[in-house]
Structure 1
Amino acid sequence: MATDDSASTTFDSDEVKEMYCEECEKHGDGYTPAVAFCVDCVEYKCVTCQKYHKRQSKTHKIQDSDSMPQDFYFEKCPTHPQQLVKFYCSECSKEACQECKDNEHDKCSDVNHLPTLASGIQKSSDLKDLQQNLDRLSEEIKDTESC
């Protein structure tokens, strides 16, 4: 990732953002911190919403705050400005909010939750290879500039 001389540099994407309950936000109840994530609904839930969700949807898989994915993409949908883009459709090569996913990509078979897609990328060999190539290219640029 970063070379030794830029190890202290931080980027906006490095910030840890708090996840908020999507149910509360949808219904105008403000921003309540999320303590769980429903894998089936692909939604973050606060304590209260999680409690009621468990009663209503007993078979849904719920992840607690330690294991729930951390969203990193905070772009609003151009079609539905009240919604965050949270999905990626590999078939259409397009991003989608929940509404777009339900309406425009309902027939697509390869629509995934962005944070779930990206999980584990930090440890992937592809990322390590990319980092090594970038470091090598950076050194070559320095060498070229000095010539």
Structure 2
Amino acid sequence: MSQLIKTVDFIFNGKLKLLSRFSATGVLNTIIDFLVFTLCQSIIGLYYTVSQVVGYSCGVANSFIFNKKWTFQYDNPDKNIVHEILQFVVVNIVSLIITVIFMKFLVDRFALNVYISKVIVTFAAQMINFLSYKIWVFN
């Protein structure tokens, strides 16, 4: 048990801190996104692109809080919070547009299952978001 605690501590507080925290936050965001997406698409019956927007938006709200406070531990008193939120929103709007277009392409053009398409576009969004947050939003 002691070794497990040391390993977890190393992963989240050692050399892999930034990547592991972003990944853990991403998993939580993805769970929220998928749950809301499924609720909207399968239970409520919304069109999958609308469900993608709603689910993604819920994941983004969670993402801002966890990435700012835990992943990047960013606290710059000189930076206006409104400016920071706007940058974060811009990154996520660009990412959302890319995911919706790519998802629609995979579903309509290749007749890929909507959930398989969702998984594929989620990975693409994570790469875009990590780089954009690190370089532009929480630098």
Q: Name the TM-score, length of structure 2 as normaliser.
A: 0.26
Report which of the two has the higher share of helix.
2
Which structure's CA Rg is the greater one?
1
Q: Which has the higher contact order (CA 8 A, sep 6+)?
A: 2
Q: Name the TM-score, length of structure 1 as normaliser.
A: 0.25
Report which of the two has the higher share of strand.
1
